[in-house]
Structure 1
């Protein structure tokens, strides 16, 4: 059984993230979507909230599991006894950063492979940062994030304003 780990911050999950999850779920027997708990970042959503949103948008996929991790990705991948990481790419600028990370991971763990998957061209402009900026200025996030979590994101923004 081929299992892949799709790591990321997912703060919040976007339609681009969902595109990669859906396509990976068709290619691999199991997809573990792993939310990184990065204390260096100032996330809009807690790890628990990000997990909840990911569970909401992937509940129809029996072969998708949501998890979270701290520390090095290679340590988490080994802990899960998986040897493949999948990363989504939107543009050439993503490739440069992701290639550097993949090569670093290969240096740390030569037995772990990184596979790059291009996101759907309709999502190529999309990032969690863009979504957070749009929602911060009361813009419409329809079409940017899965419908199931739009209200959740807006409620979070509203609660942060109080």
Structure 2
């Protein structure tokens, strides 16, 4: 059994994230989607709600489990007996940053490997940040997020 973790802030989870999760679930026995508290990013949604939205968005994938965490990722990796970290990489800028994190996590989590997956072509330009900006400026984000996220966004007061 190969257990992998896909960490992120997921504020909100997008169709691009779901795509990475679905593709990872085909390759590995168990995928743990780890939703980071990330208070320094000042998320639009609280951690508990982001966990719930992720759970609802991937409920159709049987070998996926969603957890929330506020700890160092390396600690979660060790606690959950993770074999690899999955990261989506859209651009060379993403890759450079993720490569640094991969080296750090390998050192901190006793050799855990990081695997980089490019997004499917239709999601290559979608990020949580872009979705939030479009939404907060009155744009339609329906095609970029799962239905539970769209519903939650529509109930959220635009800041």
1:106 is the counterpart of 2:113: no
| Structure 1: gaps spanning 5 or more residues | none
Secondary structure of the residue aligned to 1:59 is: coil
Deviates more, 1:24-33 or 1:147-156: 147-156
Is residue 2:123 matched to residue 1:123? yes
TM-aligned CA deviation for residue 141 of structure 1: 0.3
Unaligned segments of structure 2, at least 5 residues? none
Q: State the secondary structure of the residue aligned to 1:4.
A: strand
Is 2:85 aligned against 1:85?
Answer: yes
What is the root-mean-square deviation in Å for CA atoms of aligned residues? Answer: 1.2
Does 2:142 correspond to 1:142?
yes
TM-score scaled to structure 1, two decimals? Answer: 0.93
SS in 2 for 1:81: coil
CA offset at residue 142 of structure 1?
1.6
- Give the alignment's TM-score, normalised by structure 2: 0.95
Q: Distance in 2 between matches of 1:107 and 1:79?
A: 16
Report deviation, 1:110.
Answer: 3.7
In structure 1, the residue matched to 2:132 is 132
